[in-house]
Amino acid sequence: MAITQPTLTPEAAAPRRNWQLPVLLGPAAFWLFWFFLVPLVVILIYSFLTRSATGGVDWIFTFDNYARLLSDPIYVTILWRSVWIGGVATLICLLIAYPLALFIILQPAQWRSFYIFLVLIPFWTNMLVRTYAWMTILNNNGLINSFVTGLGGPRLTLINTEGAVLLGLVYGQLPFMVLPLYAAMDRFDFRMMEAASDLGANKWRAFLRVMLPMTAPGIAAGSVLVFILSAGNYIIPALLGGNKVTMIGNQLELWFRTAQNQPLGSAAAVLLMIMMVGGVIIYFRTTTEDDR
C-alpha cells in the first residue's frame, strides 16, 4: 500500500475511502448506537415521565423528578456526598500516584515494567472479592479489631463509615491514576529539568514550573477517570458503607429495583451524567490538542 500511495491521485483514492469509513467505524457505530445511544434516549425520556401505580411508567410529561431530586434534602445530600467523596478519592489517588509514577519512571528501563506489573496486580481478582476482603479486615470483629482488642484496646468503628468507602475507592481506582500519569511522565523529556536548573530553578521550582505543567494532561486524564469511577461507584459504598454511606450508585439501584421508581432513577442518572460530562469538558478545556 505504501508503495502505490504516491502515485494515487485524490480521485483514485476516493473509492478506497468509500469502503474504509464503514468498515473501520461500523462495529463501533453499531455498538454505540444500540448499547449507548438507545438506552440513553430511553433514560432521558423516562426522566420526564410519571411513575405508575404498578411501578412502571405513565406517559405523562413532567419536570417533577428533577424538581424532587434538587429540592429533597435526602437526595441533595446523596448527590453532594457522591461528588465530595469522589473528589476526595481522586485527590488522594493523585497524591499517592504522582510520586509513585515518578518513582517508577526514574527506575532503570528494565525495572519499570516490573513495577507497573505490581501496580496492576489487584486487577487479577474480581472487584467484589477484593472489597469483601476489605470487609473482613475492617469489620467490627475483623482483622484490625481483633488485633486492637487483643491488645486491650477499644473496639473501633471502621466499617460503614465514609472513611472506609474512601479507602475502598482509593484502593480500587489507584491504578487508573497511576497509568495515565506514568504515560505522561514517559513522554516528558527529563532534560527539560536540566534546562530549568541551568536557568536558575532549584528542583522544587523546576518541578512546579516545568514538570507539573508538562504532565498536567496525565493528571487531568487520571482525575477524570478516577472521579467518574468513584462518584458513580456502587459496589464499594454498598459493601464498605452499608446503609450509612449511601452514594448515588446505591440510590439508583434502590429506585430501579426495590422502589420501582424508574422515572426518578432516570432523572438522577441524567444528572450524574451531566456532572461527568462537565468534568470531561473541563479536561478538554484545560489541555491543548497536542498535550493529549
Partner 1 sequence: MARTIAVELASVTKRFGDVTAVDNTSLQLYDGEFFSLLGPSGCGKTTILRMLAGFEYPTSGSITIHGREMGHTPPYKRPVNTVFQSYALFPHMTVEQNVAFGLEMKNAPKAEIKTRVVEALEMVRLGEYGNRRPRQLSGGQQQRVALARALVNQPEVLLLDEPLAALDEKLRKEMQLELKGLQERLGITFLFVTHDQEEALTMSDRIGVMNRGHILQVGNPIEIYERPTSRFVADFIGETNFVSGTVCELHGNIAAINTAAGQTLRGLAQQGVQVGQPVTISIRPEKVFLTPISNGTPPTPPSKHMNAMPVQVERINYIGSDTRIIVRLHDGNTFDVWESNTRSTLDRDEYWQPGEAALLSWPEENALVLTE
Q: Which is nearer to partner 1, 188 or 256 (by Cβ)?
A: 188
Tell whether residue 286 is a contact of partner 1 (CB under 8 A).
no
Name the nearest CA neighbour of 248 among 45, 84, 18, 33.
84
Tell whether residue 170 is a contact of partner 1 (CB under 8 A).
no
CB of 54 to partner 1, least distance (A): 59
**How far apart (Å, rounded) are the C-alpha atoms in residues 165 and 158?**
10
Name the residue with cell 476489605. Answer: 134
Stretch that binds partner 1, among 85-93, 126-134, 208-216, 235-243 (CB under 8 A): 208-216
Q: Which is nearer to partner 1, 17 or 191 (by Cβ)?
A: 191
CB of 189 to partner 1, least distance (A): 7
Q: Please say whether the beta carbons of 175 and 248 come within 8 A.
A: no
Q: Please say whether the beta carbons of 236 and 167 come within 8 A.
A: no
Name the residue with cell 417533577. Answer: 64
Residue type, position 239, single letter: L
Give the max Cα distance, the chain: 84
Q: Please say whether the beta carbons of 237 and 245 come within 8 A.
A: yes
Number of residues near partner 1 (by CB under 8 A): 19
> Among 15, 108, 154, 200, which residue interacts with partner 1 (rule: CB under 8 A)?
200
Burial of 45 (0-12, 13-18, 19+ CB in 10 A): middle
Tell which phi-psi region holds residue 142, choosing left (phi > 0), alpha (psi between -120 and 50) or beta. beta
Chain-centre distance of CA 11, in angstroms?
A: 45
DSSP state of 63: S
> Among 7, 9, 28, 198, which residue interacts with partner 1 (rule: CB under 8 A)?
198
User: HSE-up of 199 (CA within 13 Å, CB side)?
Assistant: 9
Q: Read off the C-alpha cell for 43.
A: 433514560
Tell whether residue 72 is a contact of partner 1 (CB under 8 A).
no
Tell whether residue 289 is a contact of partner 1 (CB under 8 A).
no
Tell whether residue 270 is a contact of partner 1 (CB under 8 A).
no
> Among 32, 195, 280, 281, which residue interacts with partner 1 (rule: CB under 8 A)?
195
Stretch that binds partner 1, among 46-54, 84-92, 139-147, 190-198 (CB under 8 A): 190-198
Tell whether residue 183 is a contact of partner 1 (CB under 8 A).
no
Tell whether residue 202 is a contact of partner 1 (CB under 8 A).
yes
Q: Please say whether the beta carbons of 292 and 233 come within 8 A.
A: no
Tell whether residue 209 is a contact of partner 1 (CB under 8 A).
yes
> Among 189, 208, 257, 280, which residue interacts with partner 1 (rule: CB under 8 A)?
189
CB of 195 to partner 1, least distance (A): 4
Stretch that binds partner 1, among 16-24, 170-178, 195-203, 244-252 (CB under 8 A): 195-203
Q: What is the rounded (10 degree) CA torsion for 267, 273, 278, 282?
A: 170
Tell whether residue 199 is a contact of partner 1 (CB under 8 A).
yes
Stretch that binds partner 1, among 57-65, 202-210, 239-247, 251-259 (CB under 8 A): 202-210
Name the nearest CA neighbour of 231 among 275, 289, 175.
275
Tell whether residue 260 is a contact of partner 1 (CB under 8 A).
no
Residues engaged in binding partner 1 (CB under 8 A): 189, 191-192, 194-202, 205, 209-210, 213-214, 290-291
